Amino acid sequence: MNRDKIGLIIIEIFAFLLLVLFFLPFALVILNATKTAVEITTDPLAFAKDAGTFWKNITNIMTSEQIRYWNSFLNSIIITSGSLIAIGIFSGMAAWVLVRTKKRYSHIIFVIFLSGMVIPFQVVMLPLVRLLEAISVNVGIPMKDTYYGVILIYVGFGAPLSVFMFHGFIKSIPMDIEEAAIIDGCSRSQLFFRIILPILKPIFVTLLVLNGLWIWNDYLLPLLVIGMSGDVRTLPLAVANLAGAYIRQWDLLLTSVLLAAIPVVVLFLFAQKFIIKGMTSGAIK
């Protein structure tokens, strides 16, 4: 057996061990979501004694007033979808203009966008909350505990990475395509939505997945802007209600975590073919 084949086998074994390591927490969640709270605390690694316990846990979650699953699920859908659409369209527009505008200030603006990627949310979260309160008091537009308030903040934090990735992709698009569309009578808006945006599909889907995973699972930002008892409370906030200071309903908690993870897993499985293509397209330019 030659040295290259041995190295390949070692890499495959290492990759398999990483797969097991990363899948283990998810497997434990699935295993314990099928058990009662007593069974979980007694032996979290054992299998469920009653196969029907899982469906009982799901029924309890769906009917629980403490979590209000369907209301929280709808809120997460609205906030995540609205944020992704806004991030994708506005970031694509910004990147397209920055690439096609051959001015010095366009490079400066692009660097400003990139600087947003290195600023942690924890640094600006308290000033951000104060800013939302100031807007509500001085302008009269309520920003806290509203869909548009949360979506606006997500657009601000999701735009830097999206502009960066769109910027690299758009550089690989030949100018001849745009010039031909302009000669045919396309306006600037028609040029973007009918010509550029369809070409951006691979990177657009990639950013939908990356930002969607982050927004769907985010806990801290909704906690600050919406609160634990807000009308537009998202799924992570609703799930956190099951973990009190003294009592943790492990059966319902783990089942709700599993149900909250299913949508993003399905999204990733359907969009995975676009991810590598979107990450690598335009990188050579």
pLDDT of residue 215: 92
For 121-180, the pLDDT digits (tens) are 888 888 888 888 888 888 888 888 888 889 999 998 899 989 998 998 888 888 888 888
pLDDT of residue 35: 87
CB 223 within 8 A of CB 234: no
Question: How much is the CA Rg of the chain, to the nearest whole Å?
Answer: 23
For 19-32, the pLDDT digits (tens) are 889 888 888 888 88
Tokens of 211: 């930002």
Question: pTM for the full model?
Answer: 0.84
Residue among 27, 112, 69, 104 nearest 234 (CA): 69
Task: Give percent of the chain above pLDDT 70.
Answer: 93
Query: Is residue 78's pLDDT more than 90?
Result: yes
Among left, alpha and beta (phi > 0; psi -120 to 50; other), residue 282 is left
* 30-35: average pLDDT: 87
Query: Is residue 60's pLDDT more than 80?
Result: yes
Query: Is residue 230's pLDDT more than 80?
Result: no
Query: Is residue 232's pLDDT more than 50?
Result: yes
* 252-272: average pLDDT: 82
In the chain, DSSP finds a helix count (H) and a strand count (E) of 14, 0
d(CA 132, CA 249): 34
Domain residue limits, the chain: 67-280
pLDDT interval class at 283 (50, 70, 90): very low
Query: Is residue 3's pLDDT more than 70?
Result: yes
* 182-195: average pLDDT: 86
d(CA 26, CA 36): 18
CB 203 within 8 A of CB 280: no
CB 222 within 8 A of CB 237: yes
CATH number of 67-280: 1.10.3720.10
d(CA 77, CA 260): 11
